[in-house]
Structure 1
Amino acid sequence: MKHLFKRFSLFRVAALLLVLAVPALSGCEDDTDDGTQTAAALLEESKAEDDALIQGYLTRRGITEGTGVNKYRRLSGETNNGIYIVDLADGPSTGANIVKGNSVDVRYVGRYVGGSNIGGVASTNKEDDIFDNSTENGIPCGCINVLRVGAGVIPGWSEGLLFMKKGDRKLLLIPSYLAYGSGIGSNGTRIFAPYEPLVFEMTILDVK
């Protein structure tokens, strides 16, 4: 997926740098626990902020908790905590739920949840702005193929797809820790805006 994000949160970056600097600034004292606790607290803060943003997004659209069209369910398992799934259509879903290892064709549109104001720095990403659209990739189906569910995509996709089946059309709302997190790639360069919860409108075209 493309990474066309603009926001740069000075507050978050500064906080993360401070966390990384704690061991170096503390001499020979055994302060590993303090650093770990600080990083954990930062993650929990981010999770709480993301959840509030997602809840606000759902409220503005009149999407309430429950079953059926335009209803959401919030996942709270060990590996998917904070993901929200919204049914957009009744059937014609067929077959069993997707499982890890399946190959899946997905048509999707990725948008910002919006409303972020972390550390007093407002996000420049507007709610419902599209940052990625599979219909623009030049493939006739207007989709992408997830070759093996559980690998090759962001964790939120790997977890959310397990609650879908062929024919499903759903919204998948993903907290930042299961999306692109700090937005720093493995090569150390920024590839995504930091700590941005995302929403994907997804249609499952095929499951193999």
Structure 2
Amino acid sequence: MFIYFQPTDVKDPAIRPLIEQDSKTLQRLLPEIPQWVKNPDYDRIDWLNKLVENMWPYIDTAICKTARNIAKPIIAEQIPKYKIDSVEFEKLTLGSLPPNFPGMKVYVTDEKELIMEPVLKWAGNPDITIAVKAFGLKATVQVVDLQVFAAPRITLKPLLPVFPCFANIYVSLLEKPHVDFGLKLLGADAMAIPGLYKFVQVLIVFVVLLFDGRVG
């Protein structure tokens, strides 16, 4: 149990209209302003955020199952470089906090396709624990404070006159996503395995990047 005391001298932050802010403050706040406010080409999509929030437990399970499948060949390719015997996910869940979509741009073309470009921001509370065996030792690594900011492009094509009204879904990334996380080494043997920290970093980044692909 953790017990903490809230300071008695805490004051409410000052609230001022944007028009009263100086240029430096506005530049600092700009990344936090939703895309649909900054760019008229983007639409507000509160409905999508509500949908994802309600479906998140099922989306979490589906994503984690896919992540395990994606990770298998990556692990097989990478472990010889780090002289690691085996790597397994002991726990893998993205937690209870769903991603947020601050806005989305939609294109309708003459090519019988629909193109969507949502902005994705996710700062979740995942529970990801990886067990690594090497040099006769076992170490456990926990991924903490995982954040992903990405700009995917989702293309539905070709469009068809029968449900679900498209044949394939193509997902790509318009730019390199921002992936930030911390690693917590558990167990006395964790620091005894050379390259362990770097290996887990590479594994997590590869799994995120390889979600850039095709579903169909």
TM tier, shorter chain?
under 0.3
The structure carrying a bigger strand percent of its residues is 2
The structure carrying a bigger helix percent of its residues is 2
Q: Which has the higher contact order (CA 8 A, sep 6+)?
A: 1
Structure number, greater radius of gyration = 2
TM-score, structure 2 as length reference: 0.24
